[in-house]
Chain A
Amino acid sequence: MTTVLDRAAPPAARLHRDRRRWAWALAGVVLVGWALAGSGLFSGPVLNPAGAGQAGRFLSAALRPELDGGFLRVVAGSTLVTLAYAVLGAGLAVLLGALAAVPVSRTAWGGRRTGWLLTRGVLALPRGLHEAVWGLLLVNVLGLDPWVGVLAIAAPYGAITAKVFADLLDEVPRGSYDALLAAGAGRGTAALYGLLPAASGGLLSYSFYRLECAVRSAVVLGLIGAGGLGYQLALSFTSLRWEQVWTTVYALALLCLLADVGGRAVRRRVAAPRRTGYRRDPLPAGAVLAVVAGVGWALWYLALSPAALVSARTREQLAYLGSAAWPPAVDGELLGDVWSTALDALRMSVLAIAFAAAGAVALAALAARPHGPAGPVRRTAGALTRLALLLLRAVPPPVWALVLLFVLLPGVLPGALALGVYTLGVLGRLVGEAVEEADRRPAEALRAMGSSPVGRWLYGSAPALAGPVLALSLYRWEVAIRDTVLVGLLGAGGIGVLLSARTSAFDWPAVTTVLAAIVLLTFLVDLVSDRARAALR
C-alpha cells in the first residue's frame, strides 16, 4: 500500500515566534509599568487622612437617604429632565447620523477615496471631544438653556452614529444592490431596496445602544451644570448634604440600570425576533413607538424653542468666542502644562484598563452563566457577581471619582480607579458573555483525557479567549481616554483639570490649545489601539 508518508521528507519545522506580537506585548507591559510608576502610588502619600471623617459621614448616610416628600419631587423632576435630554439627544443624533451616513459611506463615493477620507476627517472632530466638553462649550454660548444638554449629546453621538451607520451599510453584501443598479434603478432607490433592508436590524440595534449611552451621558452632563439629576447631585454635594446625595445616586443608578437592562433586552430581540406567523415581534416595534412618543413628550417637557439657537444673544456670544479663541495660545508654560496633564490622562486610562481587564478576567468564570446544571453555591455566586458588575457600571465614572476623592488626594490615582471601577463593570459583562459563547468542546475533550482544571483552562479555554479579551480591552481603552477628560473636569486629575481651569478663567486661546491637545490624544490612542488589534488578529 502506498501512502503519502512514502514521499520525500518535508523540511523540518522550526518554531517562529511572531515578533510583532512580542513587541506589542512588551510595549503593553512597559506602558502599564510607566503608568504605575507615575501614579504616585510609590512616591509620596495618596491617601487623604483629612477626608476620613467626611467619608465616614458620607458612607453612613447611604443607609438613610433623604426621603422627604419635597426633595423626592425635586429628584423625580430632575430624573425626567435627564431622561428628556437622553431621548432628544439620542433621537437627534440618530437623525443626524442617518443623514450624514450617506456622504461618509464608501458606497456613496464609489472608487473616489479622497472625498471619502475627507468626509471621514470632518467627523473626527466632533467625535474626538467628550459630550461633557461639548456641554462646557455650549454652556458658554447658549447659557443655561435645555439645548445645551440636547446638543452636547447630539454632536458627538451624531458623528459616531454616522460612522457606524456608514460602516453597517458598507458591510451589507452588495449582490442585490448591484443587481438593482444593473436593472436600471437609481442609486438611491437601489440603496433603499438593496441595502437598507439587510442593514436595518443593525441600524435599529445600534440606535438603541446609543439611547442607552445617552442616558448615562445625560446624567454626566448635569454634573457640569446642564440640569437634571447630575446637576442635583452636584448641588447636594457642594452643600455637603450626604443624605440628599445618596437619594440622587440611587435615582441615577436606577435610571442607568433600567437603560442597561431594557436596552439590552430590546437589542437581543432585534437580533433574534420572536415571530408568530406574519405578525411583527411586538417588543422592538413597541420600543420604537415608545421612543418616538418620548421625543414628542421631551420636546414639550423641556419647552425647547428653536428661537434660542438663533437669538441675537447667541449669535453675539458665538461671534465673540470665535474671535477670542483664535489664534490658540502657544506660550511655553501652557504647553508644558498641556504636556504633563496629557501624560497624566494617558496614565489614568492605562491604569484603568489594566485594572478593569485584570478584574474582568479574574471574575470571568463567575460572571458567565454556568453551562448545564450547577450547584446552588455556584449559581448564587454567579448572580451576585453579575449584580455587582451591573451596579459598578450603573454609576457613571465621575460619580465614582467624587466618592474616591474623599479618601484619595487629587491626582492620577482617583481618576484611574474611578474609570477602572466603571470599566470593570462593562468589561466584566463583555468577558463573561465571551466565556458563555466560547466553544466548550476543547476543554471537555481535555477533561475526558484526565487533565487537571488548570491544564484544561490553559490549553482548552484561555487560548480562544485571549484574542477577544485583548480586543475588548483595547476598545475600552479608547473609551477610557475620552472619559479621563470627564473625571478631570470634576477635579480628579489629568487634562480635564486644565480644561476646566482655563474655561472658568475665560482664557479662550488656551482652551483652544487644550481642546486641540485632547483631540490629538484621543486620535493617537485610537491609532495605537487599532494597530495593536490588527497585530493580534
Chain B
Amino acid sequence: MAAGERVAVVGASGAGKSTLLNVLNGAVTPAAGQVRVLGRDPTALRGRELRRLRARTGTVHQHLELTGALRVVHNVNAGRLGSWPASRAAWSLLRPQDPGTVRDALGRVGLADRMYERTDRLSGGQRQRVALARLLVQQPDLVLADEPASALDPALADLALGLLGDLATGRGGALLACLHDPALALRHCDRVVGLAAGRVVLDAPARSLTVVELERFYGVTR
C-alpha cells in the first residue's frame, strides 16, 4: 500500500479479512511470511518501540472495543493512551483532559451532546460513531477499519467512510477498510482487494470495477 491510498478489502465471511487487520495491528502473529507496517516489522519489535508503532496504527472494529461502563468522553480520550503517561490517563478519569478536542471529534460524528453519557446507554450506531471519534483523537497514520459502517444508516455510513479517508490521507497515511457494501467500497476507496480462503484473488483500481461485478464477487446473483 502506498501513502495516501484508500484500499477496500472485500470477501465472503471467513475469507480472512479480520485476520488480515489483526496481523497488521499486531494482535495476531503470522505463522509464515513477512509483515511491514509503516516501514517496520511489528513481530520484531518489543515494549516501547512496539507501542509507538501501534499508537500510529488506528483500528476501528464494530464498536465492540468500547468500554461500556465508561462515559463517552473517556472512551474517546482512550485514543490518546498510546501517548499519555499513566498518571495523566488516571487523572483524566476523574477530570476529563482536553475536552475541547474530544468535543470537536464528537461534533464531527454528530454526537457532541452525548459527550458525558455512559457509553452502554447509546445505540449500536451511536457507539460505532464514538469509536470513530476515538480514532479522530488518536490521529493515526495507518487507519484499519473492520466493517466501520455496519450499524450505520446510509447517510452516516458515507459520512463515516469520508471521515476515515480524510483522516488517513490528509496526513499522508493510508486507509484499509473491510467492507461488505460494494457501493460504499467503490465510492470511498481507490483500490479494491478481494480475499477468498485467505488468498488475494482480486486486486484492481476501484474505477475499473462496477457494483454488479463486485456483487458477483460476494456471491450475489440476480
Contacts and interface: CB of A to CB of B under 8 A. Distances in A.
Given A446-B78, A450-B51, A450-B81, A455 B110 contact: no
Closest A-B pairs by Cβ, 3 of them: A445-B65, A450-B82, A450-B55
B110 A5 contact: yes
Contacts of A459: 67, 70, 74-75, 78, 81, 89, 93
A76 B6 CA distance: 76
Interface in B40-78: 50-59, 61, 64-70, 73-75, 78
Contacts of A121: none
B196 interface: no
Interface stretch (A90-98, A103-111, A298-306, A463-471): A463-471
Nearest to B86: A454
Nearest to A442: B67
Given A441-B65, A450-B81, A459-B78, A5 B159 contact: yes
A463 B66 CA distance: 11
A449 interface: yes
Given A441-B65, A450-B55, A459-B74, A12 B112 contact: yes
A2 B116 contact: no
Contacts of B16: none
B89 A450 contact: no
Interface in A426-479: 439, 441-442, 444-452, 454-456, 458-460, 463-464, 466-467
A460 B134 CA distance: 14
B89 A455 contact: yes
A13 interface: yes
Interface residues of A, number: 35
A5 B129 CA distance: 13
B155 A3 contact: yes
A4 interface: yes
Interface of A: 1-5, 9-16, 439, 441-442, 444-452, 454-456, 458-460, 463-464, 466-467
B153 to A, nearest CB: 9
B86 A452 contact: yes
B110 A4 contact: yes
B112 A13 contact: yes
A463 B92 CA distance: 14
Contact of A449 (B58, B67, B90, B113): B58
A482 to B, nearest CB: 31
B67 A3 contact: no
B67 A463 contact: yes
B54 A447 contact: yes
6 contacts: A10-B112, A16-B116, A439-B64, A444-B27, A459-B74, A464-B68
A13 B107 CA distance: 11
A458 B58 contact: no
Nearest to A449: B82
Q: Of A3, A5, A455, which is in contact with the most chain B CB atoms at under 10 Å from its CB?
A: A455
Contacts of A13: 103, 112-117
A421 to B, nearest CB: 30
A455 B113 CA distance: 26
Contacts of B155: 1-4
Contacts of A463: 67, 69-70, 74
Contacts of A449: 54-55, 57-59, 78-79, 81-82, 138, 140
Given A12-B112, A451-B78, 15 more contacts: A3-B110, A4-B156, A5-B110, A13-B115, A441-B61, A446-B78, A448-B25, A448-B27, A449-B54, A450-B52, A456-B81, A459-B74, A463-B67, A463-B70, A464-B69
